[in-house]
Amino acid sequence: MNNFKEKINILAIETSCDETSVAVVKNGKEVLSNIVSSQIETHKQFGGVVPEIASRQHIEVVIQIVEEALEEAKTSLSEIDALCVTQGPGLIGSLLVGVNVAKALSYALDKPLIAAHHIAGHIYASNIDNDIVYPSLALVVSGGHTELVYLKDELNFEIIGSTHDDAVGEAYDKVARQLNLEYPGGPKVDKLAKLGEDKYKFPRAMIDSNDYNFSFSGMKSAVINFVHNANQRGEEIVPEDLACSFQTAVVEVLITKTKKAIINLGVKQLILAGGVAGNSELRKQVLELEQELGIEVLIPKMSYCSDNAAMMGAVGYYYYKNNIFANPLTLNAKSTLDLEEINK
């Protein structure tokens, strides 16, 4: 772009679900601060995120988090070159909080406003400590998404596969409930699975289909029915074995589809992205693909796997570089947003 500065400081705001996060990121790489205020303790008693409560808590803390991020980055609003905010997808009430704060700051400071895609942020989280090489493939796994995304070029995404029903993180949370594990259940199922054996055989839906799509609803239902039937018969279930059997089935499907896509597309780099990228078994098996297929695997560090503003600042830099800006007077949050439309 014209007059592109060498050093771009972006103040990024992420409020798509139940984390209020603000970061200052220089040139999409250097994270000067990344403050995350979690609401886990609040939502734990309900067994999941309550949207109305989430948005109210964002309102209560967001300005304080902005101030903390600036303080930790040892910078001021006058030294910020652009504001970046998650426009979607996510919980609409939560998104609106971040969007309105970013719009107000952009307008008051007369600074450019970037409306970024949440999933693009998750993918570019790997670019903070590494370098994405195009073309590349991303396996996006979270509470709301399970997708295989082909990165043709900078901010140029093609979704080549997605779930027909439940996202993988959603299935983890439902299985966690069956095991009486507290929210958030995914990491607890993962921890339990390490102590068990793959004794119960659950279906691997669509594992042999001639596409890159997924389905986890049947697997989730199979686990729920298995638990209910065992309880009715008075049979004892070993929680560790159930967690291990479920996780083994999930990871097998994800790895099988991902391998197929890597081979067919001929990419040399795989990016693991999203909250479920923190899963130990998935990380292990994805890293094994490096040797098996001769590719490079990028996995963000744990603090960049869950929702955070650093990843939004990382991707926001490329919006800035490509002159993709939003109008601070008309921008609105969107609960659903097309990843493939970013650069069009």
Which DSSP state fits 275? G
**pLDDT surpasses 80 at 2:** no
Q: Phi/psi zone of residue 9: left (φ > 0), alpha (ψ -120 to 50 degrees), beta?
A: beta
Give the range of the structural domain holding residue 67, as residue numbers without chain letter. 9-124+305-341
3-state secondary structure of 265: helix
Work out how many domains the chain is built from and give that number.
Answer: 2
Same domain membership, residue 196 and residue 142: yes
Tokens of 301: 């560090």
3-state secondary structure of 245: helix
Residue 115 within a domain: yes
Looking up tokens 């709301």, which residue turns up? 144
Same domain membership, residue 179 and residue 160: yes
Same domain membership, residue 257 and residue 141: yes
Same domain membership, residue 208 and residue 77: no
Same domain membership, residue 203 and residue 119: no
DSSP secondary structure, 77-140, as one string: GGG--EEEEEEESS-HHHHHHHHHHHHHHHHHHT--EEEEEHHHHHHHGGGTTS---SSEEEEE
Q: Which amino acid is at 58?
A: H
Residue 1 within a domain: no
Residue 289 within a domain: yes
- List pLDDT tens digits, range 300-321: 999 999 999 999 999 999 999 9
**pLDDT surpasses 60 at 96:** yes
Residue 4 within a domain: no
Mention every residue, 6+ apart, whose C-beta is less than 8 A from residue 304: 125, 126, 128, 310, 311
CATH for 66: 3.30.420.40
Rounded Cα–Cα distance for residues 221 and 153 (Å): 38
DSSP secondary structure, 170-208, as one string: HHHHHHHHHTTPPSSHHHHHHHHHTTS---S----TTTT
**pTM of this structure:** 0.94
- What's the average model confidence in pLDDT over 255-280? 96
Quick one: pLDDT band at residue 148, thresholds 50, 70, 90?
Answer: very high
Same domain membership, residue 99 and residue 193: no
Same domain membership, residue 156 and residue 84: no
Residue 3 within a domain: no
**pLDDT surpasses 90 at 51:** no
Same domain membership, residue 257 and residue 158: yes
Percentage of the chain exceeding pLDDT 90: 90
- For position 278, what pLDDT does the model report? 92
Rounded Cα–Cα distance for residues 285 and 118 (Å): 25
**pLDDT surpasses 60 at 99:** yes
Tokens of 274: 């999203």
- For position 137, what pLDDT does the model report? 98
Rounded Cα–Cα distance for residues 340 and 344 (Å): 8
Same domain membership, residue 240 and residue 162: yes
Distances (CA, A) of 316 to 105, 120, 266: 16, 9, 28
- List pLDDT tens digits, range 68-84: 999 999 999 999 999 99
**pLDDT surpasses 70 at 1:** no
Tokens of 271: 């990016």
- What's the average model confidence in pLDDT over 122-126? 97
